[in-house]
Amino acid sequence: MARSLSSAAAIAVIVLCLSGLCRGAERLGTRECEDLGFTGLALCSDCTALGEFVKDQELVEDCRKCCTEDSDDSISKLVFSGAIIEVCMRKLVFYPEVVGFLEGDKDDFPFVETRSAYGSPPKLIMLDDKGEQKETIRIDNWKREHIRQFLKEKVKPAKSDS
């Protein structure tokens, strides 16, 4: 009897692990992910790309706690048509790397707009080809060159038919 109970328990654990539920300690809920700034960085391959840009292991680990595993039929490199850098202009002084990007590099990215939103931490709002918001990524801890590299990699403006 005890052996059959332990066998049943082992099978239950295996089923839970295969379904992904036993990784609960490694995964965060939607709210926790939003608080960390990962509201739209959905694919785990994007976390790998993020690690190449920011070199912050803790940030990459947080990303992995919020990502979805890539499937064979998914596009592992999401690309967007435009972006908006949203930030509270009163708080901008606390983010010198973002200021540096806005003052020195933003003109190199004509498809990136700047928008002021009271109380907002610096974030990239990624847009699809219709100009609709698809992802939001906080950039308050990013370096200027990482913002630049990320935009070069992830934003490819739609070709016009003119």
Mean pLDDT of 55-67: 85
Name the residue with higher pLDDT: 11 or 61: 61
Is residue 1 pLDDT above 80, yes or no? no
Residue given tokens 């692990």 in the structure block: 17
Name the residue with higher pLDDT: 77 or 49: 49
Domain map of the chain by residue range?
25-74, 82-154
pTM: 0.56
Q: Which two tokens stand for residue 39?
A: 């509201």
Q: Which two tokens stand for residue 135?
A: 């992802």
Average pLDDT, the chain: 78
Is residue 54 pLDDT above 90, yes or no? no
Give, for 117, the enclosing helix (H) or strand (E): none
Q: What is the model's pLDDT at position 108? A: 94
Q: What is the model's pLDDT at position 41? A: 52
Q: What are the tens digits of pLDDT across the range 131-143? A: 899 888 999 889 9
- Inter-residue long-range contacts of 43-46, CB under 8 Å, 24+ positions, other chains counted: 43/67, 43/68, 43/69, 43/70, 43/74, 43/76, 43/78, 44/68, 44/69, 44/70, 45/70, 45/76, 45/77, 46/78
Is residue 126 pLDDT above 90, yes or no? yes
Q: What are the tens digits of pLDDT across the range 34-45? A: 777 776 555 777
Q: What are the tens digits of pLDDT across the range 74-113? A: 444 678 999 999 999 999 999 999 999 999 999 999 999 9
Check whether domain 82-154 has CATH 3.40.30.50, yes or no? yes
